Amino acid sequence: MVGISTLGVGSGLDLNGILEKIDKAERKSLEPISKQQAINTAKLSAYGTLRTSFQAFLAANEKLVSSDIYTSTKASAISSSISVDAGADAIPGKYIVNVLQLAEPQTLTSIVKKDIQALNGNNAIQRTLKFICGDGNEKKIVINKDQTSLTAIRDAINKSDCNFSANLIKVSENGFRLSLTAKKTGVENALKSIEVVGDDLLNQFIGFNSNGQQSGMVQSIVAQNAKFTVNNVDIENSSNTIKNAIEGVTLTLNEQSGQNHTITVTRDNDRTCSAIEEWVDAYNSLQDSIASLTRYNPVAPGKMQDSNNGVLFGDGTLRIIHSQLMNIITTGSGSSVYKSLSQVGISLIPDNGKLQLDTKKLNNIITDKHDEIKYVFAGNSIASGIATTLTGKLTNALSNEGILQSATESINKKINTLNEQYTNANKKIDDDIARYKSQFIRLDKMLSKMNGTSSFLMMQLNNFKK
């Protein structure tokens, strides 16, 4: 409100106080709008909380739609010689494995050199290092005449995309060897030959030929493949990590044993049970959010509603979604054997709408009727399951065209309208107060002038009497 501190000075009237009371009375008309703004802003926030809760439940729900949850397996081996990992397509059973030999990478070593910075090539400007692997792949590296020292050769090889690495080994106080080690194990990944084209001197130092011809580099470690048996069937592989020697199982050979070891592949029922437990917990968290947002505190007849009622108490959108979810959970099973959740150990608590899980009962059914648990949640070719139907319903509700988005947009429109109403009403009050002030100023001046005239007349009258 425009400053009014000088009003009433001329008239002696409390025009200041009068104008403040008018301003206060006028602004009371803004209170209903402010109240509606607060209510709708709270609703908007509540819908955000609700969306987050639905998204969390959808994430847990989608896990139960995935077939991996029901088909996953686990493998175990009571031996440090073998590590095992089972995939979803592994077949439960027992397998006998014997590790006869580990795969090893090839290592080549040069003769001893005293100076790692000394050049080992001729004066040619360039020369080409040509490496040929056992699988026939060829790699070439071009180096200059100042790159023929041990350190320079090491760096040139390591900067290339060759499938082996180079390092220097200090064998004595003044002795160093260049060592090349294949990055992958197995015979096919070993170097068949190294040839230096354009520098015979350097070739004498790092040249190599696996056919036994004299060369500069020698094999300090010969490459070899892994050898093992599965159920007495001989298997050879270039790597110590072998996939699908046992269908759906990855074997990692850690050490040679020469003994039979049993690998056991079983269904991972714990994973299925854990996913269902997470689903129950997510649903109960959703129920807590809904209960908080729709909380109702009873009052005596004729009394005002409790201000602590939930922001979405009586909200039609939430009531529709909640009703649909409850209907699916109670009637949506896709199994012809277990037609309700209570039959698999998941019961509905009438007092609060939450789910209660009997883990022991659920585990027993997962063990004995594994496929039926899948049908309950994920369905089959005949009927959709609870999780499948819920996923469709929640995805639609949370989409940009869904019921939650529509409700949110509706509230945003209300808030925008209320903000506009408030701005317009507030401006009208400011204009009215400004007009009143202008009128009060004129009144103050007029009364001040009249008081001056009255005082003059009284003075003249008194003088006349004398």
CA distance to 155, 240, 374, 381, 386, per residue, from 338 (Å) = 67, 45, 11, 16, 12
In DSSP notation, 103-146 reads -B--EEE---BS-TTS--S-S-SEEEEEEEETTS-EEEEEEEGG
pTM for this prediction: 0.67
CATH of 107-221, picked from 1.20.58, 2.60.40, 2.170.130, 2.60.120, is 2.60.40
| Contact present, 11 and 443 (Cβ < 8 Å) | yes
Q: In this predicted model, what pLDDT tens digit does every residue of 235-269 receive, in sequence order?
A: 999 999 999 999 999 999 999 988 999 999 988 88
Q: In this predicted model, what pLDDT tens digit does every residue of 391-444 receive, in sequence order?
A: 999 999 888 888 888 888 988 999 999 999 989 988 998 888 888 887 777 776
Mean pLDDT of the chain: 87
What percent of the chain has a predicted confidence (pLDDT) above 70? Answer: 91
pLDDT at 90 over 80: yes
What is the token pair recorded at 212? 């036994």
pLDDT at 332 over 90: no
Q: Name the band, by pLDDT with cuts 50, 70 and 90, for residue 180.
A: very high
Instruction: Number of helices (H) and strands (E) in the chain: give both, helices first.
Output: 11, 18
| Contact present, 341 and 355 (Cβ < 8 Å) | yes
pLDDT at 94 over 90: yes
- Decide which of 10 and 158 is more confident: 158
pLDDT at 361 over 90: yes
Domain definitions of the chain by residue range: 1-72+268-454, 73-103+226-267, 107-221
pLDDT given at position 3: 45
- Give, for 1, the enclosing helix (H) or strand (E): none
- Decide which of 295 and 127 is more confident: 127
pLDDT at 210 over 50: yes
pLDDT given at position 295: 80
Q: Name the band, by pLDDT with cuts 50, 70 and 90, for residue 312.
A: confident
3-state helix, strand, coil in the chain (%, to 5): 45, 25, 30
Q: In this predicted model, what pLDDT tens digit does every residue of 42-65 receive, in sequence order?
A: 888 888 989 999 999 999 999 999
* Residue 199 main-chain phi, psi, to 5 deg: -155, 90
pLDDT at 1 over 50: no
